[in-house]
Structure 1
Amino acid sequence: MEWLLITAAVAALAALAVVLVQAEVKDTADRVASPDPRVTAAIHSAFEVETGAKAAAAGDFESWTGWERRFSERCSLLAVLYGDADVEVVLNNFNRATGGGIEFDAAAASHAAAADEQPADPSKAQVQCEVR
Structure 2
Amino acid sequence: MTIGGELIGWQVEKTTRNTIDVLEKTCRAVSVSNVVGIVGPALSREAHLIAAFGEKTGIPVISYAATDPNLSNRNVYPTFYRTIPSDNAAASTLVKLFNRFKWTSCIIIYQNDAFGSNGAKTIK
TM, length-normalised to structure 2 = 0.28
User: More helix by proportion, 1 or 2?
Assistant: 1
Q: Say which one has the larger Rg.
A: 1
TM, length-normalised to structure 1 = 0.27
